[in-house]
Structure 1
Amino acid sequence: MRCPFCGAEDTSVVDSRISEEGARIRRRRRCVECEKRFTTYETVELRFPQVIKQDGNRVEFNREKLYTSFARALHKRPVPTGQVDAAIERILQKLLGSGVQEISSRTIGEWVMQELYSLDKVAYIRFASVYRSFEDVGDFQEVIREVQSSPQNGDGPSS
């Protein structure tokens, strides 16, 4: 690694430590030329797949949209933040673990619905109403019947 002080290319690692959360490594380095010390951080760089929208356009995955979807659906619902974060993390892990370069927005939406279904049925219905473009009260009644007739600890909705 190049020294930020003198530009020399030869540096040595004096000390390495894993961060508390285990997500990065802190390295203390020393320049062989000027002998000044500096710190670098090493992290894993993961690339999420591109999202194929319903109109066929491809966009970069936006983690913030995922958080916003959960926040809107769970607005004023009694669900602990830790459970929401865990649900979002499961979706992110599915995305990264899928190994694909592209994924449909529909697939991500279904994953969100499954997670919301297990977190809070009202939030699930809220999200489903937008995601499935409900047009009248009958659409709500159909999903409510689906939720009421499913086992209490079911894995999720039938798509």
Structure 2
Amino acid sequence: MRCPYCGAFDSRVLDSRPAEEGNSVRRRRECSECGRRFTTYERVDELPLMVVKKDGRRETFDRSKLLAGLITACQKRPVPINALEELAGEIERDLKSTMEREVHSRDIGEQVMRRLRELDEVAYVRFASVYREFRDVQEFMREIEQLITRKI
């Protein structure tokens, strides 16, 4: 590791510890040339997960967009924000664990709906109404009837 102060390549590790919830390693180093100390972070180099949109465009998966959608669906509902953050993290982990580099937006939407149904039924219906793009009240009512039927 190159010293940020003198540019020397030789340094020794003084301390290592997990950082960022175990996703990286923080290393405290000392330069062998100038003796100054500095910190480095080591992370796994991941390929980005790409989302294939309905129109065929591709964009990088963005956890914050997923979380924003969950927050919108749960607005004015008794669902704690940490439950939504945990849900977004679970979905992200599931998507990345498949080892696929591309995922269709509909697959993400289906995962969100399945998990929201268990977490909060009103939030589920809100999300489904936007995600499924209901064209009329009858489609909306069919979705609610299916939800009621599953509960019985």
TM-score norm. by structure 1 comes to: 0.88
2:98 paired residue number: 98
Look up the match of 1:155: none
Which structure shows the higher helix fraction? 2
The aligned counterpart of 2:27 is 27
- Structure 2: gaps (5+ residues): none
Task: Provide the residue aligned with 1:156 in structure 2.
Answer: none
Corresponding residue SS for 1:67: helix
**Structure 1 Cα separation of the partners of residues 46 and 118 of structure 2:** 28
What do you get for the CA RMSD once the two structures are aligned? 1.6
Same amino acid, percent of matched pairs: 47
Report the TM-score, using the length of structure 2 for normalisation: 0.92
> 1:31 deviation in Å?
0.8
3-state SS of 1:150 partner = helix
Shift of residue 131 of structure 1?
0.7
SS of the counterpart of 1:51? strand
Separation in 2, partners of 1:28, 1:134: 55
Q: Residue 131 of structure 1 aligns with which residue? A: 131
Between stretches 14-23 and 53-62, larger displacement belongs to 14-23
Deviates more, 1:13-22 or 1:142-151: 13-22
Give the distance between the partners of 1:130 and 1:18, measured in 2 at CA.
40
Task: Give the match for residue 115 of structure 1.
Answer: 115
Cα displacement (A) at 1:37? 1.2
Structure 1 unmatched runs, 5+: 153-159
Q: What residue is the counterpart of 1:85 in the other structure?
A: 85
